[in-house]
Amino acid sequence: MAAAPFPLLEISKRCYERVLSLFKLQDLITLSMISKKCRMMPTVIRTKPGCLEVSISRAGTILHLSERDNPNIRWVFNDRILGNPQSFIWEINDNRMEIHLNETGVSINPISAHFSCVSSAIKYLKELLCWSVKSVNIDPTNLPTTMNLAYLRIERCKTLNIFGINHISGGELTEILENVQKKKFLKINVMIYNDFDFNFNPNLLNCKRMLCEKPTHWLTLGDLFQLECTKFIFKKSRFRAQGCIDFIDDWMDGNGEGIDYLLVKFATLERDEPVVSSYLEDPDVVEPRSPGYILDKYTYLDCDDGFDIKHYSGKVATWQVAPDYFYFVVWHNPIHDILQRTPFEF
């Protein structure tokens, strides 16, 4: 004799809230997918704070669901059979759910299917759990045709990290910057082919902090003044020392007043000393300030040897240039507590 169905939707709100509070996160997600009526049930209980982390590479896409007491939940999207790109396996830990897109009766383009599913899943989980996307990590090297970045859609995240050991095309970089739209911290650690003409668009670099660990021949120091970004670190940079000094002159003339700092590690040693205007080395500009400048909650820049300059608006900045590095920092607060932070290394 078959067991009678459990009337979950007919019990009192207090009762099912109590039942749902005992569910594990992955079980809540599974429950929400049973039917439209079950869709919003997990949202009525207080879920633990957490975030989503996205990892994309040739092997597939992984959504990490990071919860304070349960950090190892992941949702994996990968091609089940390379010859059948319309089928995927979604995995929540050891629970495997096969999704056959070609059985849904909906016309699916195999080229867009992968990231259409991923983008939908991210949106679904954000609404279901009221979580944000903490990080998006993308290695775009040799992605299969079923993983077309043009169809990736992530509205906002805290950190976008683009990395890889091989060169990528400028088109791939542009697609990522366009489709991961708003990011607080942009990290680029991948080489771009030299034929890339960026066709500069400030909206693509929509972030507050930028770290480039590979040469950025596609970006100029003058471009930085057009960005909303205020914090820049460039490593292995092809910028020249004279260009960095000209950057300071432009700042003194009123450009880029919102900039907080610019740190540059030159790819090659500078043989020639740059021409520096006398007012940039004025010994009469002596302002009380800390010997170190806080870059983030972990690191500070030792700028005790820098030259202080004063903008006509009253802002004070400190700069220094050496054969292998350059720094420029603006003091919004002259006293920085650098204790318990480590010094930044160029």
* 60: region left, alpha or beta (phi > 0 left; psi from -120 to 50 alpha): left
Structure tokens at 44: 């009525």
Q: Is the dihedral of CA 221, 223, 226, 229 positive or negative?
A: negative
Task: Locate the domains of the chain by residue range.
Answer: 29-41+49-219
Rounded Cα gap, residues 139 and 158, in angstroms: 18
Average pLDDT of the chain is 84
- Which residues in the chain belong to E strands, given as ranges? 50-57, 60-67, 70-81, 84-92, 95-100, 132-138, 154-163, 180-189, 209-212, 231-237, 261-266, 292-294, 299-302, 307-310, 316-321, 325-331, 342-343
CB 136 within 8 A of CB 160: yes
> Is pLDDT larger for residue 129 or for residue 338?
338
| Residues 164-174: tens digit of each pLDDT | 999 998 889 99
For 190-247, write each residue's pLDDT tens digit. Answer: 999 988 878 788 888 989 999 999 999 999 999 999 999 999 999 999 999 999 999 9
- Sign of the CA dihedral with 291 first, then 293, 294, and 299 last: negative
The reported pTM is 0.87
Sort residue 340 into left (φ over 0), alpha (ψ -120 to 50) or beta. Answer: left
pLDDT of residue 111: 59
Calculate the alpha carbon distances from 338 to 55, 233, 290, 328 in Å. 33, 19, 9, 18
Q: In the prediction, which pLDDT does 309 show?
A: 94
C-alpha Rg value of the chain to the nearest Å: 25
Token duo for residue 58: 């040739």
In 10 A of CB 334, how many CB atoms? 11
Dihedral sign for Cα atoms in the order 296, 300, 304, 307 = negative
pLDDT tens track for 54-65: 999 988 888 888
**Cα 214 from Cα 237, distance rounded (Å):** 7
Classify residue 165 by burial, with Cβ atoms within 10 Å: 0-12, 13-18, 19+.
Answer: exposed
- Please give the pLDDT value at position 95: 55
Per-residue model confidence as pLDDT tens digits over 80-93: 444 454 445 555 55
Backbone angles phi, psi at 54, to 5 degrees: -115, 130
pLDDT at res. 92: 52
SS3 call for 67: strand
pLDDT of residue 71: 62
Between CA 64 and CA 346 the distance in angstroms is 32
How much helix, strand and coil, in percent to the nearest 5, is found in the chain? 25, 35, 40
Is 40 or 103 the better-scoring residue by pLDDT?
40
How many secondary structure helices (H) and strands (E) does the chain include?
6, 17
